[in-house]
Amino acid sequence: MRAVQVAQAGADFEMVERETPQPGRWQVLVRTGACGICHSDAMAGGGMASSYPRVPGHEVAGTIEAVGEGVTQWKVGQRVGIGWFGGACFTCEPCRNGDFISCTAGQVTGLSADGGYADYVLAPADALAAVPDELTDAEAAPLMCAGVTTFNALRESGARAGDVVAIVGLGGLGHLGVQFAAKMGFEVVAIARGAEKGDFARKLGAHHYLDSTSQDVAEDLKKLGGAQVVLSTVTDAAASTAAVGGLAPRGRLIVVGVPQEPLQVAAVDLILASRAIAGHASGTAKDSEDTLRFAALTGVRPMIEEMPLEEATQAFDKMMAGEARFRVVLTTS
């Protein structure tokens, strides 16, 4: 099979030929149809893989080619996805409490095991999510990371239908967050830089748009009664926290984008209204499956650009440069 690997930490991508792996006990071999490119794929080249060479990619959609001993819930020919969640150990304290995404073993597709920049992916059975027929592989792939991250953060946020929910950013995560929030029945406020993005935000389903370059985001959220939830999808620390003062009493800022700088918030903005700041991990394979089903049911779709596996380096560079609109997806056909 073909695979795009990082030979060692700091190395560039290289296309190689490998023997196609065979599934062992409780494993499944998936023929890759598409694999989305995520900023987190940079971790493979940044020395965070468990071993090298390593094949990146944790937004995988494809078809089961073979199943190993003990696998009964998945069948050859079934369409499935594989995301950031690469399986659980089932023995650590979080796993024993049913919190599998917090498994201390830290199994991550594309870091602790080879990922989807290849013709085939070997994965544990508990890392798979069923893909609905309404979604193509290229559409399903980004939902296995960007999709489940925003969908799951919103549904676990405590916000209820009719509440004001703000989404900071309209990029790879944000354009999905706005769609999911609108379909969940929230009053959606999109926040981004530039007045020209307002029409796009409303096409995604936002009821209000705030241009952070010309408006006081916190004050304008207060005029709407305060946001029960602000979901920050951006990598700018100041933009992530600008809306904290506009949270309703006991409102929550949920951070899913990863700024390089520390977040800075005035304690008084948290204390006086009993507000909170929380991070949110993406979700388990079942959470990803729920995301796919919800997207298929409601019409939520990622905006994607497809590129062949052979152009993985160009595709990755395009994503990292912020030139994608909004997710780049590698295809293998």
Give pLDDT, residue 322: 87
Q: In this structure, are strands 327-331 and 304-308 parallel, antiparallel, or unpaired? A: parallel
- Whether 328 shows a pLDDT value over 90: the answer reads yes
Q: How confident is the model over 137-178, as pLDDT tens digits?
A: 999 999 999 999 999 999 999 999 999 999 999 999 999 999
Average pLDDT over the chain, rounded to an integer: 97
Q: Where in the chain is the domain with CATH 3.90.180.10?
A: 2-144+292-331
Q: Where in the chain is the domain with CATH 3.40.50.720?
A: 157-279
CA distance 182 to 163: 11
Model pTM greater than 0.85? yes
Strand partners, 328: 305
Give pLDDT, residue 13: 97
Q: For CA atoms 177, 116, 102, 98, give the dihedral sign.
A: positive
Listed residue (78, 92, 97, 88) closest to 30, CA to CA: 78
CATH 3.90.180.10 fits 2-144+292-331, yes or no: yes
Q: How confident is the model over 81-111, as pLDDT tens digits?
A: 999 999 999 999 999 999 999 999 989 999 9
- Whether 246 shows a pLDDT value over 90: the answer reads yes
CATH 3.40.50.720 fits 157-279, yes or no: yes
